[in-house]
Structure 1
Amino acid sequence: MHLRCVQSGINIDRETVRHLLGILDPEGVQQRARRRLQRRRYHVSGPNFLWHLDSYDKLKPYGICINGCIDGFSRNVLWVEAYVTNSDPSVIAGYYVRTVRAKMGCPRVIRADLGTENGTVRQMQHFMRTNFQDAFAGDRSFLQGTSQHNQRIECWWSVFRKHCTQYWMNLFEELKDDGHFSGDFLDTSLIQLCFMNLIQDDIDTTVKEWNCHRIASSRNRHGPFGRPMVMYTVPQLYGTQDYLVPVQHDEVEVCETECQFKSRFPCDKDVFNLCTLLMNEAGIDKPSNADQGLHLYHFLRTTILRQI
């Protein structure tokens, strides 16, 4: 309120504002003093009751598109995948079906934003939950809303950026500032070829570390607290149970026919074949770290542009 007064041209000190609020809004002051204005608490009954699904676009301008899913109870990350797209519904469905097949079960509920890329997952979740009679069966098994309501995965993206993507964002931004990345088809394909697998390896390491680290208790956060992997796999230690819904093998097979799974080519197939030929001629192996990736990127870009 003091800041609003200053921005409105009223020259007043904080103490005067405090006394005036006590006169004009005594009930509000009393409520704040008693700390009765609290954020709504996030609560999930147990693991696999609610999965949060979302796409991450910070590296998308460079051709690296990321999608992830996290368990709402344990904060155990179920998948984070880097690929050439995160807007194709059949690709996102592929991540979902692969996880469902590995667990031979689906969650009670999935929450996602309003993006069209989640449409196929929504249909598959409805299909697998059709014959159940619980309160979240059928159409109620998939919730869509704004990003603010998808808070578990949105919160985790900030951790993900700090421990993984910020480094790659800085690297690619430097390439762009130096005039070595224009954003066209060739440059984007070369970024995908040189860095896609490196970024996925970095993602896998980040996810593994997160799932095994200990979430410490805090008065400003609501539990449970502990290691996400333990909370996810042994919910009995936390007084709850696994809410995974069993699925039939034939149901998974039907869903798989509607999915598109990640290709073995990290970029456009023709660009991949050309670059593989150039690498073989020059005796260059695929990169195993960021410096080698940069060297390969500059070599391929210079060689191809010289031939055009």
Structure 2
Amino acid sequence: MANFRYVSWQDNEDLKSDMTKYVGQCVKRKEILDFLKRNFPQYSWSIASIDRRLRHFNIFYTDLHTTVEQVEAAIKKELCGSGQLLGYRAMHKKIRQAYHLHVQRDFVYNIMSRLDPAGLRNRTVGVKVKKTKDCFVSKGPNWVHSIDGHDKLMGYQNSTFPLAIYGCLDTASRKLLWLRIWTSNSDPQRIGKWYYEHLCETKQMSTYLRMDKGTETGVIATMHSYLHQHHNIHEDEPTDTVIYGPSTSNQIERWWKELHERLEKYYKRKLLFLKEEGHYNPHTETDRYILAFVFIPILQRELDTFKEVIWNSHRIRCQKNTVLPHGIPNHIYSFPDKYDLEECGWIVNDDQLDEIFNHAKLDNVADDFLEADFRAKCEAIIPATENISPEDCVEAYIYIKQNFKV
């Protein structure tokens, strides 16, 4: 029986995949130990056993066989797209995770300083004046989730481009829980559906939701309050679990700046080019739908990558005048006891989820932002939007518009 714990770890592809992922994210071995103990409890774990198994799988923090040419080619590709807005730290994480090139950060810095010296200087700490940050306090993961919409890509009066983002952030760990892009972020049922999908995935809800008091948050606030009726352990009334306030004091609002600086500026230039050169008319329904057909899938992929590769796996450094812990958001969220925090979430079951789905009438929420026949016409011209790269999105839009038959 004693040997059963060690059976077949050498052939466990899930274990190999997880270890590769954490090393690619530059997670420290003591932090990897926490994840592996949780995910693979059938094996015994220690720092020494991690080292042995990493060697067995040929996984190394630094791959000495990686060439300068490989890294340079990857960085050049990123600099042609939205990666041109990334600093060398974020670029280093993306190179390691998206391209599986395990090199040191200085290696990436040296190549970027040669390929993009001006951009590197502009992103240097101290170039921009930083505003004083608010000090957030939280008991632990899932104590307060901060949700908000983001309209920077939509342009003048939030109506020029049909590209609206909505997201949710855990205030204790600063982990991004979900990000969605759609043609609008003002439909309360649509936002409620996104919240429902998150609950179905995690089977856990936060103690409090922090949001703006707008028409778009009505359904999600009602869903959250309704679910809390099943948990009467704390003294709050169910409706008190929703905290309203302006966006400026909502923690996710600070994160939108990160997204804008490191991703959105690249796409804003492309969108403005289409408009200023006469390729796109915001008052024409066909133009708006074609733009959504091309850009929304690309931007959703970019948001997913930014969430997991750039943000949730980066290491938050120790900051002045803050009581929140420093570390990797994924690790803080998963192991709050390591940071003198506590898990504050509440379990939700399938029956409760079915109740809110039916009460909120979420089955009426469309699964697509386009009508089926319009999408079919676009797909007849470009069948697979997943093959459109970020640098080709402008050309793809123009090509579809030129060949589109109303």
Measured after TM superposition, the shift of residue 293 of structure 1 is 2.5
Measured after TM superposition, the shift of residue 220 of structure 1 is 4.4
Q: Number of residue pairs matched?
A: 265
Q: After superposing the two structures, state which structure 1 stretch, 140-149 or 204-213, moved more.
A: 140-149
TM-score (norm 2): 0.61
Deviation string, structure 1 residues 74-106 (Cα, Å, up to 9, x no partner): 100000101122111111011111111222121
Could you tell me which residue of structure 1 aligns to residue 344 of structure 2? 243
Measured after TM superposition, the shift of residue 285 of structure 1 is 6.8
Could you tell me which residue of structure 1 aligns to residue 334 of structure 2? 233
Measured after TM superposition, the shift of residue 265 of structure 1 is 3.8
Q: Which amino acid aligns with 2:377?
A: L
Any stretches of 5+ residues in structure 1 without a counterpart? 1-37
Q: Does 1:53 align with 2:147?
A: yes
CA 1:181–1:44 in structure 2 vs 1: closer, same or farther (change >3 Å)? same
Could you tell me which residue of structure 1 aligns to residue 305 of structure 2? 205
Q: Does 1:172 align with 2:271?
A: yes
Measured after TM superposition, the shift of residue 146 of structure 1 is 1.1
3-state SS in 2 of match to 1:98: helix
Calculate the aligned-residue CA RMSD, in Å. 2.2
Deviation string, structure 1 residues 39-82 (Cα, Å, up to 9, x no partner): 86320100000000100111233111110000010100000101
Measured after TM superposition, the shift of residue 263 of structure 1 is 5.3
Could you tell me which residue of structure 1 aligns to residue 238 of structure 2? 138
CA 1:146–1:259 in structure 2 vs 1: closer, same or farther (change >3 Å)? same
Measured after TM superposition, the shift of residue 300 of structure 1 is 1.8
Structure of larger gyration radius = 1
Deviation string, structure 1 residues 230-273 (Cα, Å, up to 9, x no partner): 11010010112111111232110122232269855453333212
Q: Distance in 1 between matches of 2:386 and 2:170?
A: 34
User: 1:5-24 residue pairs with structure 2 within 5 A?
Assistant: none
Could you tell me which residue of structure 2 aligns to residue 111 of structure 1? 210
Measured after TM superposition, the shift of residue 275 of structure 1 is 1.7
CA 1:70–1:192 in structure 2 vs 1: closer, same or farther (change >3 Å)? same
CA 1:231–1:182 in structure 2 vs 1: closer, same or farther (change >3 Å)? same
Could you tell me which residue of structure 1 aligns to residue 388 of structure 2? 288
Q: Which amino acid aligns with 2:375?
A: F
Q: Which amino acid aligns with 2:149?
A: S
Identity %: 23
Give yes or no for contact 2:145–2:169 (8 Å, CA) kept in 1: yes
Q: Distance in 1 between matches of 2:370 and 2:133?
A: 44
Measured after TM superposition, the shift of residue 168 of structure 1 is 0.9
Could you tell me which residue of structure 2 aligns to residue 17 of structure 1? none
Q: Distance in 2 between matches of 1:235 and 1:212?
A: 16
Q: Distance in 2 between matches of 1:205 and 1:286?
A: 14
Give yes or no for contact 1:104–1:247 (8 Å, CA) kept in 2: yes
Give yes or no for contact 2:149–2:166 (8 Å, CA) kept in 1: yes
Q: Which amino acid aligns with 1:124?
A: M
Give yes or no for contact 2:135–2:321 (8 Å, CA) kept in 1: no
Q: Distance in 1 between matches of 2:197 and 2:368?
A: 19
Could you tell me which residue of structure 1 aligns to residue 290 of structure 2? 190
TM-score (norm 1): 0.80
Q: Which amino acid aligns with 1:85?
A: S
Give yes or no for contact 1:42–1:222 (8 Å, CA) kept in 2: yes
User: 1:17-32 residue pairs with structure 2 within 5 A?
Assistant: none
Q: Distance in 2 between matches of 1:55 and 1:234?
A: 28
Q: Does 1:219 align with 2:320?
A: yes
Q: After superposing the two structures, state which structure 1 stretch, 190-199 or 269-278, moved more.
A: 269-278
Give yes or no for contact 2:297–2:386 (8 Å, CA) kept in 1: no
Measured after TM superposition, the shift of residue 137 of structure 1 is 4.2
3-state SS in 1 of match to 2:152: coil
Larger relative contact order, structure 1 or 2 (CA cutoff 8 Å, min sep 6): 1
Could you tell me which residue of structure 1 aligns to residue 62 of structure 2? none
Any stretches of 5+ residues in structure 2 without a counterpart? 1-131, 155-159
Measured after TM superposition, the shift of residue 169 of structure 1 is 1.1
